[in-house]
Amino acid sequence: MRYYIGLMSGTSLDGVDGVLVAIGDGESRLKQLAASYVPFSPDLRTSLFALQISGFDEIHRVAQAANQLVLVYANCVLHLLKNTGLAPEQITAIGVHGQTVRHRPEFGYTTQINNPALLAELLDIDVIADFRSRDIAAGGQGAPLVPAFHRSVFGQPGATRVVVNIGGISNISILHADGSTDGFDTGPGNVLMDAWIMQHKAQAFDSNGDWARIGTAHPQLLAMLKDEDFFRQPPPKSTGRDLFHLAWLEQRLMYFPGISTVDVQATLCVFTAQTVVEAIVVHAADVQQVYVCGGGAYNATLMEAIKAAFLPYHLNVCVDSTEVLGVSPNHVEALAFAWLAYRHNERQSGNIAQVTGAAGERILGALYPR
């Protein structure tokens, strides 16, 4: 058995999830040994939010934020080592995604803030990072990268399953009954709901969807939100804060001056649910099971909205979180990057060309030796 660590900080900008896993001779023999979560400080979160749009002295601010971020990564790794009693020299590698601040595959680039050389220096462990660039260099979207991992750990022969990851952005992995795999970003996950509640209630997120629950979705606003070119594009496709952000929402709210703030939150919740479900229905009409991971899995109102969005289609679909499969929803993406680090070391591909649109399968990531 070899030990790998996966680190993930996603578009929700809340903190770092880390997992330590043991992987045997076959990648299916993956066992999670420990997990840790380290929240971002308010200052770091503010810095990362500010970098989502262009601004003064960006190069310097990116470098400084990367160094601060790596200290959080290192802290998370130290927690994992302490919890398992393992030493740095026993860890084969750390797979770390970095913090996305730009994702523009249509222009041939994606940018994840990180300083993997510093992380390797601080921890004396091999670090594998920059997983998205090679896929984009091969003509792909660079995202989503998790479908290959989902197929490995969640696929079931003879059954069509869909894994829905709802972080800041939502993406789906379609694990077809015949063994093939599709996947793409479906649109906003929590990003707009988080931004709206922060602006109006100074809360980082809508805990359990309690605020959205007491509002009523506004049909005309919902229709306008869904009337975005991204939703008409065929996959492969990916998106991020470059498109879906607070200013994008406020431009559309100008047409509805009387709408209450709580009804906006309720509408955003239904917006996320319906765009996820509509993508599933179009591309996986024979789906039998839907498993949700990411922070959205802990939002009861959103989970109910997803189930409700299936009702008009009269499909017999079971919707649950990945917890029922033995994997905590907030650990799935970190596990994926531990797995991608393993694939890199084994000189095996980490992308699915059909998912990202790349010219072919590629070995992903760049190694920063200890």
The whole-angstrom separation of Cα 236 and Cα 229 is 14
Domain ranges of the chain: 2-143+331-368, 147-325
| pLDDT given for residue 11 in this prediction | 79
DSSP for 157-222, please give it: TT--EEEEEESSEEEEEEE-TTS-EEEEEEEESSHHHHHHHHHHH--SS-GGGHHHHTS---HHHH
pLDDT tens, position by position, for the chain (370 residues)?
899 999 999 877 889 999 999 998 765 578 999 999 999 999 999 999 899 888 899 999 999 999 999 999 999 999 999 999 999 999 999 999 999 999 999 999 999 999 999 999 999 999 999 999 999 999 999 999 999 999 999 999 999 999 999 999 999 999 999 999 999 999 999 999 999 999 999 999 999 999 999 999 999 999 999 999 999 999 999 999 999 999 999 999 999 999 999 999 999 999 999 999 999 999 999 999 999 999 999 999 999 999 999 999 999 899 999 999 999 999 999 999 999 999 999 999 999 999 999 999 999 999 999 9
Name the CATH superfamily housing domain 2-143+331-368: ATPase, nucleotide binding domain (3.30.420.40)
What pLDDT score was predicted for residue 163?
Answer: 98
Residue 27 is predicted with a pLDDT of: 55
Kindly report the number of other CB atoms within 10 A of residue 282's CB atom: 10
pLDDT at 28: 56
For Cα atoms 50, 137, 119, give the angle at the middle one, nearest 5 degrees: 55
> Following CA atoms 72, 74, 79, 81 in sequence, which dihedral angle do they give, to the nearest 10 degrees?
160
Can you say whether the dihedral through the CA atoms of 40, 42, 48, 53 is positive or negative? Answer: positive
What is the Cα–Cα distance from 211 to 102, expressed in whole angstroms?
A: 30
Say how far apart CA 284 and CA 134 lie, in whole Å: 28
Q: Looking at the domain 147-325, which fold is it?
A: Nucleotidyltransferase; domain 5 (3.30.420)
Rounded distance between C-alpha atoms, residue 179 and residue 343, angstroms: 20
Burial (Cβ within 10 Å: 0-12, 13-18, ≥19) of residue 287:
buried
| SS3 readout for 236-289 | CCCCCCCCCCHHHHHHHHCCCCCCCHHHHHHHHHHHHHHHHHHHHHHHCCCCCE
Residue 187's φ and ψ, nearest 5 degrees, are 135, -155
300: Cα separation from own chain's centroid: 19
First-to-last C-alpha distance (Å) of the chain: 20
pLDDT for the residue 26: 62
The residues that bridge with 38 in the sheet, in sequence order, are: 16
Query: Closest Cα partner for 123 from 5, 234, 30?
Result: 5
